[in-house]
Amino acid sequence: MDLAQQVLAGDRRALARLITHLENDTPIGRAALAALWPHTGRAHVAGVTGPSGVGKSTLVNEIAKHLRSSPLSPLPTGEARGAGVRGEGQTVAIVAVDPTSPFSGGAILGDRIRMRDLSGDPGVFIRSMATRGRLGGLARATGEAVRALDAAGFDLILVETVGAGQSEVEIARTAHSVIVVEAPGLGDDIQAGKAGLLEIADILVVNKADQPGADEAVRALRGMLELGRSKRDSDWDVPVCRASALSGQGIAEIVQAVEAHRAHLAAAGQLAARERERVVEEIRALLSEALMGRLMTRLANGQFDAAVERVLDRTSDPRREVERLAQET
Amino acid sequence: MDLAQQVLAGDRRALARLITHLENDTPIGRAALAALWPHTGRAHVAGVTGPSGVGKSTLVNEIAKHLRSSPLSPLPTGEARGAGVRGEGQTVAIVAVDPTSPFSGGAILGDRIRMRDLSGDPGVFIRSMATRGRLGGLARATGEAVRALDAAGFDLILVETVGAGQSEVEIARTAHSVIVVEAPGLGDDIQAGKAGLLEIADILVVNKADQPGADEAVRALRGMLELGRSKRDSDWDVPVCRASALSGQGIAEIVQAVEAHRAHLAAAGQLAARERERVVEEIRALLSEALMGRLMTRLANGQFDAAVERVLDRTSDPRREVERLAQET
């Protein structure tokens, strides 16, 4: 069996190997993903984002645990899923998008240790995606990993971004449902408002709701949401959930909100629209990488460096050099 | 006088107009920046980044105030600067990179209100850069705005990123000196370690150092830094400064650290290396935008959409369509 066949058969190690191939953008990874492509498009993908320190990892952990222990959980997948991913409840994959931290690995390791109680369960798959090389690469690799998990038959894929910057927002917004997590008392303001996160939220969660300031945070978020309408979808009322991931409170409500949002998307014909948006983003990201790669191989030795030199000694400017280099395609 | 000449003459409104042109990527903006290019390369650029809620805006405000009130501040610029930017101390420009927040503008406005005590001073220029359209665009526009401010004669340009995601890190790391700000008590861990920020730090600041947990944060950062060496420059000891932007404590030390870092870069020949790195990033960002733009204009009407359709109905996969589309260049 080749790698794609192994993944379809439910081989977890093969799946992990494939994702590493996708991270490194190898020919083996590309071939396997092409073979798996017809098997994609069934999973529900939920992005989980928000400022640092709000407890996203713990929350994602609790959502996964909840789904595994609720056999009647009604997320409709439309058809029977592949072998190997069945279990009591829905099967869940977690993709944690972590910037590389060569200093420690500590904090990230910490998150994964919190996940330990899930790791013996074959219906759960946990994977961290690291920044390898340049920005666009992480979004591309994350998107491809989600497709691989989708083909492997997971019902729900949770994409958790560790930071809350523009690229993390871009990664989260390619999900079907976007969960934005906030916590009380992170500085003076509602940080999610600052970070431009509210506009992409389908579901808002105030985590650490047992801490002081939770009521104010909920009120402030409701106020920011004005009439509770989503900016992306005016027919959807964005719910503001209160949760405490550490005590497990409010997790069932979040899961229900995701299910309600998926049902809404399907009923409103929005699922297809979001899926199209995801594909457009995937093609754009790949195309951008491909065009730069092609140009770099076509440039004569030292041509790029010579352009840099001319800009540095101020005999030319970046735009003029870019015009010249782009002619080479 | 054309726009570039007005900017060189110290016209602040012309400078603001130019930056708007650069944000919108207009021909007027491109022409003006090309004309200004020979006048760039003199400012010192410091990036200020860190997790949300650590008080970066207030800190940047205090650094600017301090520089304006210290006439003997020794940042060497090598030559006399343009008219219109002189004052008591060094002239300072602040570029705040804000993701668009269509919900409020409130938090961002709040930051700017805190800056009000600076805005009457002609030696200070404050500008927010918003995300207009796609990711790469913000990095490109921010880089170009910094060049415009450089040509306008500002001694120090502080580039403050509101979020702390991968793209913000990319924007901050194109500075000569990178200041990473942390605060005590933002969740369980040192957030900067999580966000991959420590590897790019030249100077670390624990802000809100009058709050509980500041000593622990300083110790944790020192521990993460191991022997205090910079990951980018093994000859530089990364200082860990304690500050309270609200009370003004520790600001002088941060300014001294920036000056020491600039002197170190100059002495070690690293200033030229960082400048080269910045130019390489600028050319890459522009090239990537240019290549996508050229391809899109060359594609026949509906060709991109047809590719999306084939991927959506699973008769093709993204890589295959990207191969096909890239042939059109």
Three-state DSSP string of chain B: CCHHHHHHCCCHHHHHHHHHHHHHCCHHHHHHHHHHHHHCCCCEEEEEECCCCCCHHHHHHHHHHHHHCCCCCCCCCCCCCCCCCCCCCCCEEEEEEECCCCCCCHHHHHHHHHCHHHCCCCCEEEEEEECCCCHHHHHHHHHHHHHHHHHCCCCEEEEEECCCCHHHHHHHHCCCEEEEEECCCCCCCCHHHHCCCHHHCCEEEECCCCCCCHHHHHHHHHHHCCCCECCCCCCCECCEEECECCCCECHHHHHHHHHHHHHHHHHCCHHHHHHHHHHHHHHHHHHHHHHHHHHHHHCCCCHHHHHHHHHHCCCCCHHHHHHHHHCCC
Q: Which residues of A96-132 are buried (b: 16+ CB within 10 A; e: fewer)?
A: bbbbebebbeebbeebbebbeebeebebbbbbbbbbe
Q: From CA B165, how far away is CA A98, in angstroms rounded?
A: 10
**C-alpha radius of gyration, chain A, whole number:** 21
Query: φ and ψ at B55, to 5 degrees?
Result: 90, 35
> What pLDDT does residue B78 have?
44
Are A104 and B225 within 8 A, CB to CB? Answer: no
Tell me if A52 and B166 make a contact (CB, 8 A cut-off): no
| Residues comprising chain B, all counted | 329
Judged by CB atoms closer than 8 Å, whether chains meet at B295 and A295 is answered as no
Residue B204: predicted pLDDT? 93
* A283 inside 8 A of chain B by CB: yes
As given in the structure block, the two tokens for residue B283 are 């050319």
Position B88, amino acid: E
CA quadruple A90, A94, A95, A98: dihedral, nearest 10: 170
A294 contacts B329? CB cut-off 8 A:
yes
Asked whether the beta carbons of residue A103 and residue B280 sit closer than 8 angstroms, the reply is no
Contact A314 B290 (CB under 8 A): no
Considering only residues 57 to 116 of chain B, which have any Cβ-Cβ distance to chain A shorter than 8 Å?
98-104, 106-108, 110
Cβ atoms of residues B170 and A165 within 8 Å: no
Look at A276 and B196 and tell me if their CB atoms are within 8 Å.
Answer: no
B131 contacts in chain A (CB < 8 Å) = 166, 196
Phi and psi for B128 in degrees, rounded to 5? -95, 135
The C-alpha of A67 sits at a distance from chain B's nearest C-alpha, in angstroms, of 26
Q: How far apart are CA A236 and CA B126, in angstroms?
A: 38
Q: Across all residues in chain A, what is the average pLDDT? A: 82
Among A48, A87, A63, residue whose Cα is nearest residue A201: A48
Residue that is written with structure tokens 């997590």 in the block = A181
- Tell me, yes or no, if B38 comes closer than 8 A to chain A by beta carbon: yes
The amino acid at residue B149 is L
The verdict on A40 touching B (C-beta cutoff 8 Å) is: yes
Minimal Cα–Cα distance from A37 to chain B, Å?
6
Taking contacts as CB-CB distances below 8 angstroms, the residues of chain A near B51 are 51-53
What ipTM was estimated for this complex? 0.82
Structure tokens at A139: 């979004």
- Looking at residue A50, what DSSP letter applies? -
B308 and A280 within 8 Å at the Cβ level: the answer is: yes
First to last CA, chain B: 40
All residues at 6 or more sequence positions from B76 whose CB lies less than 8 Å from its CB, including other chains: B262, B263, B266
B281 touches chain A (CB under 8 A): no
Tell me the C-alpha distance between B22 and A157, whole Å. 39
C-alpha B222/C-alpha B228 separation (Å) is 7
Is the pLDDT reported for residue A325 higher than 90?
A: yes
pLDDT of residue A64: 92
* Cβ within 8 Å, pair A286-B322: yes
pLDDT at A114 exceeding the cut of 60: no
- Side chain identity at residue A50, one-letter code: G
Which chain A residues are Cβ-neighbours of B165 within 8 angstroms? 99, 161, 163-169
pLDDT of residue B72: 45
B270-298 vs B135-151: helix axis angle to the nearest 10? 130
pLDDT in tens, A35-77: 999 999 999 999 998 877 788 888 999 999 999 887 544 454 4
Q: What is the mean pLDDT of residues A158-179?
A: 78
Element holding A128 (H helix, E strand): strand A124-130
Residues 235-274, chain B, touching A (beta carbon < 8 A): none
pLDDT for the residue B64: 92
Query: Is residue A104's pLDDT more than 50?
Result: no
- Interface touch B279/A311, C-beta < 8 Å: yes
Rounded CA separation B193/A101 (Å): 7
Is A156 in CB contact (< 8 Å) with chain B? no
CA pair distance A102, B194, nearest whole angstrom? 10
pLDDT at position B73 is 46
Task: For chain A, say whether B327 makes contact (Cβ under 8 Å).
Answer: no
**Mind listing the pLDDT tens digit for each residue in A1-40?**
899 999 999 999 999 999 999 988 899 999 999 999 999 9
What type of residue sits at position A83? A
Nearest to A288 among B165, B292, B323 (CB): B292
Given a cut of 70, whether residue A196 has pLDDT beyond it is no
Ranges of residues in chain B whose predicted pLDDT is under 50: 72-74, 76-87, 100-110, 135, 187-188
Q: Which residue of B has its CA nearest to A143?
A: B318
**A253 pLDDT more than 60:** yes
Decide which of A168 and B322 is more confident. Answer: B322
pLDDT number for residue A152 = 97
Residue A84's pLDDT is 37
Q: What is the pLDDT of residue A265?
A: 94
Q: Is A96 helix (H, G, I), strand (E, B) or coil?
A: strand
Give the model's pLDDT for residue B112.
54
Residue of A nearest to B33 (CA): A317
For residue A235, what pLDDT is reported? 86
Cβ neighbours, 10 Å, residue B48? 27
Phi-psi region of A248 (alpha: psi -120 to 50; beta: other; left: phi over 0): left
Task: Tell if the CB–CB gap between A326 and B290 is shorter than 8 Å.
Answer: yes
Identify the CA nearest to B127 among candidates B17, B46, B245, B225: B17
Query: Taking CB atoms and an 8 Å cutoff, what residues of chain B touch A294?
Result: 326, 329
In this structure, how many other beta carbons lie within 10 angstroms of the beta carbon of residue A274?
Answer: 20
- Give the helix ranges, DSSP H, for A37-175: 56-68, 106-114, 135-151, 166-173
User: Do the Cβ atoms of A53 and B51 come within 8 Å?
Assistant: yes
Q: Do A283 and B308 touch (CB under 8 A)?
A: yes
Cβ neighbours for B307, distance < 8 A, ≥ 6 positions apart: A283, B316, B321, B324, B325
